[in-house]
Amino acid sequence: MAVNLKGKSFLTLMDLTPQEIRYLLDLGHDLKSKRRAGICDPALKGKHIVLLFEKTSTRTRCSFEVAATQEGAHVTYLDAGSSQMGKKESMEDTAKVLGRFFDGIEYRGFDQKVVEDLAKYAGVPVWNGLTDWDHPTQILADMMTIEEHCAKPLKEVKVVFPGDVRNNMCYAWMYGCAKMGMHFVGLGPQQLIDGVDQSVLRQVQEVARQTGATIEITSDEGTLTGADVIYGDIWASMGEEDLIPERARLLTPYRVTEETLKRTGNRNVLYLHCLPSFHDFETKLAKEWHAKGVDIREVTDEVFRGPHSVVFDEAENRMHSIKAVLVATIGR
């Protein structure tokens, strides 16, 4: 069946069929290959998009800007300090105004409802660049990376996420794995497992029953066995810095080390991370907390820089996968 995503928003993978996700992955691979071959056929010439950022970013902003520019679009960037969004102007009014100017709107911020309201009122496609509940463009890039480095089809891949199982990346992975029939394990302490949103679990389990996926949230480290991917994320998200000491106490046993990789029993296991990562003490934040006796590294430097790590291929694929979303939804 032909896939047509023209004019559609990209808010969560839960809105897409497995066939539509497959289409975006294939398109991402194709656009990447063409770029590397020097083939230039801009699909967004004459288009204008706006990036709305309430949360700061390196990869998401650069990925959207470069992807759009390479395809011929013009990009406008607005952050919380340079627009009236949510301050002097409601989200509904903002969406209606921006929808008159732009062919598409990207939003990166906190509340999932904001990106949903933008899509409701804008009249043009809206793309989710990250919320507290989801990060769908990241999952597309991750799946692209897995397909490049793992000999198995996605339906046979097992992903283990050691860390804060209540965070947006864990939820985003559950959505993606459920849709694509994959095996996902969120591995963390019981105290955090108890905080997992039960409505999210019910949603993904319902989808998993249709696709053959397996979704687990557990504290059993035996689930590392057979993993094809170990996926990392920092222990405290933006705005949660005051929680770092407690998170470090809870999650230090789940720090990814060489021993973690060995416990998978898979000599070809991959290490992925959405970045940024605390893998050494070269960042300001890691140094400050280390001086206070708190080690905030979610992964050791040996793993992060080692042969199993494909984090920089993954980071590059943010741009290619986002390009696929843009071309699929507003391209010619």
**Residue positions annotated with a catalytic role:** 108, 135, 138, 233, 274, 318
Decide: 268 and 262 in contact? Cβ < 8 Å. Answer: no
Tally of CB atoms within 10 A around 82: 9
Number of residues written out for the chain: 332
Encode 180-236 in three state secondary structure: HCCEEEEECCHHHHCCCCHHHHHHHHHHHHHHCCEEEEECCHHHHCCCCEEEECCCC
Nearest to 11 by CA among 148, 159, 129: 129
